[in-house]
Amino acid sequence: MQNQPKQRAQELRTLLSKYGYEYHVLDAPSVDDAVYDSLFGELKKIEAQNPELITPDSPTQRVGNELIGGFKKVTHSSRMLSLNDVFDVKEVEAWVERMDKLLPGRSHEFFADIKMDGLACSLIYQDGLLTQAVTRGDSFVGEDVTANVRTIKNVPLRLHTQKGFKNFLVGRTEIRGEIVMLKKHFEALNKARHAAGEPEFANPRNLAAGTIRQLDPKLVAQRPLSFNAYDVLREDPAEVPTNMFAYEAASALGITRNKQAAVFTTLKDVMTFVNEVEAMRDSLPYNIDGLVIKVNDRAKFRELGIVGKQPRAAVAYKYSPEQATTIVKDIVISIGRTGAATPVAVFDPVVVAGSTVQHASLHNADEIARLDIRVGDTVVIFKAGDIIPQVQSVVTELRPKNASKVNYEILLADQYPELEFERVGKDVVYRVKGADSDLMLKRSVEYYASKGSLDIDTLGEKNVVALVDAGLVKDLADMYALSLDDVLALDRFADISARKLIDAIAEKKNPPLEKFILGLGIRHVGTQTAIDLASQFESMEALSQASIEQLEAVDGIGKVVAESIVAWFADPDNEVLLEKFTSLNVKPQFIKKTGKLVGSAFVITGTLSSMSRDNAADRIRELGGTFQSAVAKDTTYLVAGGKVGGSKLKKAQEYGTKIISEDELMEIIK
């Protein structure tokens, strides 16, 4: 369904160029920055894996902003570089390791500051007097925007003099920093525009960038901008020994810089700072998109050098965006406890607001139609209320040609051929026809309590019916919240029987993981699958986060089962249910298999004369073995109950499976 890398890269380039043009030239972006960044990241990844696909016009091959006409071009005294992005502590550690390799045995002192979301600008002071202001441009050559920058109130036209920093007033001092528009100014401007019926500006950064490139300085003066320094350059670099010193110099010279910037001796402290800044992110006066972390010592900084367009001695720590793009791999339907069908989109895993997301509820058929979401589509994901991932929109420009429109009723029939669905009156949800939600609940509680699953003594059909009818059990977890009084209030129970039931339930608060998984009643997950899942993932937490690929990698699990499992965990009702189990202290335990049959897998064909297949299977599992329904690569024994069919025999020979008789099996499991 997905396009080949070559075609995908081409489509991404075209779309990103369009977005880039809208952003940089028209100052009218049509998508959020996070969407651009996410697609840009995908293109970079494809190009890294297939370098032959890189074209000279790829947006990845550009450093800075587009140079547009109207301003004098100025060559920078030294390149205005960009920074490599890192997204988590592991990547920060990897960065430090790379530096350690180059400068072994020398510990680093780190300097960190907030990364402001504006536009870079370089101010040149000659003998203390502002003579030129230049944008970053393409990193080598920028635009002379002196007249505009002179309107920025916190940019001193003459540097202040202070003891200890007088040398900066002699010769050339270059101050680099970020031009931003404060949030409050941005909001006030937009409010005024709104009142005047004029179109509002997209975001402070665009507005700042657009403003600085205005050809009329009078217009610029009406839009309040601020400058925040992050670098001070002198001809003799020894005059600025550390990055912290550059900040102190900026302050001394009368130039605004972030007061939060600080020096740290350990990475742990840097990470604490990262988290502190993230917590105060919203209360900062301007937008930020992360942190800049640098080696504090500037001689060392220079020694570490540059790779491509980025210095080795600094990184940009980016907070994970609240939006990201990914590709829809499938749309699966989960049937809830009440018989309601909920469609779920399954994605390539993607990090959104700090956690990995691989599925989102699509709610109902109307929502699918509204989004016109299709398998193979590239979609924008965001976190609603910062917790629940949702599909925001479809990037239709990137839709594969063969992606067909979803017909919900056909999808239902495909995935649940055995069921009939109906949509009653104004209900937007399809439900299993005739589904009596109480009946479905009773069945699922019975199944959970049954011998094959958790085997809860005395919680049979009649007791389940009584508990559900009394409204005491509304989901699987509720039974663990029952009190003796609750149960005693029911006609069926007397003192002893009530106590027995409560004890029997309490006894199963730490069930074996595989029994618990089985008891949840996930479609297509039978006894052996539950065992395989438990031994592969070892916890509910890990299982709930497993991707379709990881699930399919488990022997005996195919696409249909994998999807059913992912859909079950994606259903918000089930998420709530699992949390409820946890809060009631129901904690399944994974116990590593022991026994003489660990590592052996059995298939039984035909009928056995001395015991039922189910009992034989139980015994095999008790001894640590696996019971399979068909001969596979890893089948150790094929037990021949009667005559073995030709195809089974052929497979057994192909896989080197040993064929044994019923007597031999009894010998093994006795």
Contact 223, 189 (CB under 8 A): yes
| CB nearer to ligand IVH: pick between 78 and 615 | 78
Question: Of the listed pieces 23-31, 86-94, 311-319, 533-541, which binds ligand IVH according to CB under 6 A?
Answer: 311-319
| CB nearer to ligand IVH: pick between 315 and 534 | 315
Rounded to the nearest whole angstrom, what is the least distance from the CB of residue 250 to ligand IVH in the complex?
Answer: 11
Rounded to the nearest whole angstrom, what is the least distance from the CB of residue 283 to ligand IVH in the complex?
Answer: 18
Give every CB contact of residue 315 below 8 A, 6+ residues apart in sequence. 83, 84, 85, 86, 91, 92, 95, 292, 293
| CB nearer to ligand IVH: pick between 81 and 351 | 81
Q: Given its phi and psi angles, is residue 133 left (phi above 0), alpha (psi -120 to 50 degrees) or beta?
A: beta
Q: Which of 34, 35, 83, 133 binds ligand IVH (CB under 6 A)?
A: 83
Q: Which of 46, 54, 67, 81 binds ligand IVH (CB under 6 A)?
A: 81
β 84-86/314-318 pair status: parallel
| CB nearer to ligand IVH: pick between 117 and 552 | 117
Report which of 373, 378, 268 is spatially closest to residue 331, judged by C-alpha positions: 373
| CB nearer to ligand IVH: pick between 82 and 550 | 82
DSSP 317-330: EEPPPSEEEEEEEE
Rounded to the nearest whole angstrom, what is the least distance from the CB of residue 161 to ligand IVH in the complex?
Answer: 25
Rounded to the nearest whole angstrom, what is the least distance from the CB of residue 273 to ligand IVH in the complex?
Answer: 13
- Ranked by CB distance to ligand IVH, the top (closest) residue is 120
Q: Which of 2, 10, 17, 82 binds ligand IVH (CB under 6 A)?
A: 82
Rounded to the nearest whole angstrom, what is the least distance from the CB of residue 192 to ligand IVH in the complex?
Answer: 28
Check 6, 18, 72, 115 and give the catalytic one: 115
Report which of 336, 409, 357 is spatially closest to residue 568, judged by C-alpha positions: 336
Sign of CA dihedral 644, 648, 651, 652: negative
Q: Which of 74, 120, 152, 476 binds ligand IVH (CB under 6 A)?
A: 120
Rounded to the nearest whole angstrom, what is the least distance from the CB of residue 121 to ligand IVH in the complex?
Answer: 8
d(CA 38, CA 41): 5
List, in sequence order, the alpha helices (H) in 450-512. 461-469, 484-488, 495-507
User: Binding to ligand IVH (CB under 6 A): which residues in 607-626?
Assistant: none
The tokens describing 424, both together, are 């009653």
Q: For ligand IVH, how many residues bind (rule: CB under 6 A)?
A: 14
Q: Which of 8, 24, 115, 621 binds ligand IVH (CB under 6 A)?
A: 115
Sign of CA dihedral 548, 520, 514, 589: positive
Q: Which of 314, 395, 604, 631 binds ligand IVH (CB under 6 A)?
A: 314
| Long-range contacts, 163-166 (Cβ 8 Å, 24+) | 164/252, 165/249, 165/252, 165/253
d(CA 565, CA 334): 9
β 601-605/626-628 pair status: parallel
Rounded to the nearest whole angstrom, what is the least distance from the CB of residue 302 to ligand IVH in the complex?
Answer: 11
CA distances from 29 to 19, 59, 207, 368, 469 (A): 7, 16, 11, 26, 57
Q: For the chain, state the CA radius of gyration.
A: 33
Q: Would you give the binding string for ligand IVH spanning residues 149-188, x where CB under 6 A is met? A: -----------------------------x----------
The alpha carbon torsion through 52, 58, 59, 61 (nearest 10 deg) reads: 60
User: Binding to ligand IVH (CB under 6 A): which residues in 212-271?
Assistant: 230
Contact 293, 315 (CB under 8 A): yes
d(CA 302, CA 280): 32
Question: Of the listed pieces 79-87, 326-334, 531-539, 617-625, which binds ligand IVH according to CB under 6 A?
Answer: 79-87
Measured at the alpha carbon of residue 118, what is the angle toward residues 114 and 119, in degrees to the nearest 5? 120
For 377-415, b/e burial (b = at least 16 CB within 10 A) is bbbbbbbeeeeebbbbbbbeebbbeebeebebeebbeeb
Contact 79, 139 (CB under 8 A): yes
Question: Of the listed pieces 93-101, 308-316, 616-624, 652-660, which binds ligand IVH according to CB under 6 A?
Answer: 308-316
User: Binding to ligand IVH (CB under 6 A): which residues in 424-453?
Assistant: none
Rounded to the nearest whole angstrom, what is the least distance from the CB of residue 157 to ligand IVH in the complex?
Answer: 23
| CB nearer to ligand IVH: pick between 80 and 327 | 80
Asked whether position 42 contacts ligand IVH by CB under 6 A, the answer is: no
CA distances from 574 to 308, 416, 540, 549, 566 (A): 48, 19, 12, 21, 11
Rounded to the nearest whole angstrom, what is the least distance from the CB of residue 138 to ligand IVH in the complex?
Answer: 12
The tokens describing 656, both together, are 């080197």
115 classed as catalytic: yes
Rounded to the nearest whole angstrom, what is the least distance from the CB of residue 550 to ligand IVH in the complex?
Answer: 35
Contact 420, 433 (CB under 8 A): yes
| CB nearer to ligand IVH: pick between 113 and 297 | 113
d(CA 61, CA 302): 24
| CB nearer to ligand IVH: pick between 118 and 511 | 118
Q: Which of 54, 316, 419, 611 binds ligand IVH (CB under 6 A)?
A: 316
Rounded to the nearest whole angstrom, what is the least distance from the CB of residue 122 to ligand IVH in the complex?
Answer: 10
Which residue is it, tokens 């002699």?
Answer: 170
Question: Of the listed pieces 115-123, 421-429, 569-577, 642-650, which binds ligand IVH according to CB under 6 A?
Answer: 115-123
The alpha carbon torsion through 62, 64, 70, 71 (nearest 10 deg) reads: -130
Rounded to the nearest whole angstrom, what is the least distance from the CB of residue 272 to ligand IVH in the complex?
Answer: 18
Q: Which of 11, 113, 143, 297 binds ligand IVH (CB under 6 A)?
A: 113
| CB nearer to ligand IVH: pick between 156 and 311 | 311
| CB nearer to ligand IVH: pick between 113 and 478 | 113
d(CA 441, CA 338): 7
Contact 432, 444 (CB under 8 A): no
Question: Of the listed pieces 9-17, 109-117, 359-367, 653-661, which binds ligand IVH according to CB under 6 A?
Answer: 109-117
| CB nearer to ligand IVH: pick between 233 and 373 | 233
| CB nearer to ligand IVH: pick between 271 and 501 | 271
**Residue positions annotated with a catalytic role:** 115
Residues that bind ligand IVH (CB under 6 A): 81-83, 113-116, 120, 178, 230, 292, 311, 314, 316
